[in-house]
Amino acid sequence: MAQTPVTELSFEQAMAELEHVVGRLERGDVALDESIALYERGAALKKRCEAKLKEAEEKVAAITLDAEGAPVGAVPVEGA
């Protein structure tokens, strides 16, 4: 089964897969070579989650409120 490239995963997909990877590594029921591959995939998934969180934080930080409490200065979300 081919794995989806990490760069194509949503935050939720990457986090779910990362939890699965960590669980397998913690159980220790995989061969050394597979453990190394899982660790590498896990590191890439962690990086993806961190990037998606930073992106979300930047979008939230770009939103300010006017005197009436309406958002101003919001940057449109691409693809929405």
| 59-79 pLDDT tens trace | 888 777 776 777 776 665 565
Q: Is the dihedral of CA 60, 61, 65, 66 positive or negative?
A: negative
Domain assignment of residue 66, yes or no: yes
Containing domain of residue 11, as a range? 6-72
Domain assignment of residue 53, yes or no: yes
Domain assignment of residue 10, yes or no: yes
CA distance 79 to 21: 29
Domain assignment of residue 37, yes or no: yes
Question: What residue has token string 């409490």?
Answer: 69
What are 14-57's pLDDT values in tens digits? 999 999 999 999 999 999 999 999 999 999 999 999 999 999 98
pTM of the predicted model over 0.85: no
